[in-house]
Amino acid sequence: CFYLLKAFSLKDQMCRCSVSIPSNIAEGYERFSKKERAHFLSIAKGSVGELKTQVMLAFELGYLHKENYLLITNECEEIGKMLGKLMYLHKNN
């Protein structure tokens, strides 16, 4: 029972992070100032880091196959880099 609860909880948290990333990007672009946009991009980037951690845990606990783990981790890395560049542009322009 605990195993199923832990799996459900991790899956639920991963889904929340996945939704949080584009939601914070969208919210940031609805703001008026570059500082506010950068803030919400920062929150989105934090959610990427959180998702990467949860994906690693899911893999270590045997919930994800290695190929899915590598694919998702690489996607998170790319999204994190893109968000970092966008944050830099908003803070320095």
Q: What is the pLDDT at residue 2?
A: 46
The Cα 35–Cα 58 span in angstroms is 35
The Cα 86–Cα 42 span in angstroms is 10
Give the domain range for residue 68.
Answer: 2-92
- Predicted confidence band of residue 59 (pLDDT cuts 50, 70, 90): very high
The domain that holds 68 is classified in CATH as: 1.20.1440.60
- Per residue in 4-49, pLDDT (tens digit) is 556 778 888 999 999 999 999 999 999 988 889 999 999 999 999 9
Tokens representing residue 92 in the block: 């320095």
The Cα 57–Cα 69 span in angstroms is 10
Q: How many domains does the chain have?
A: 1
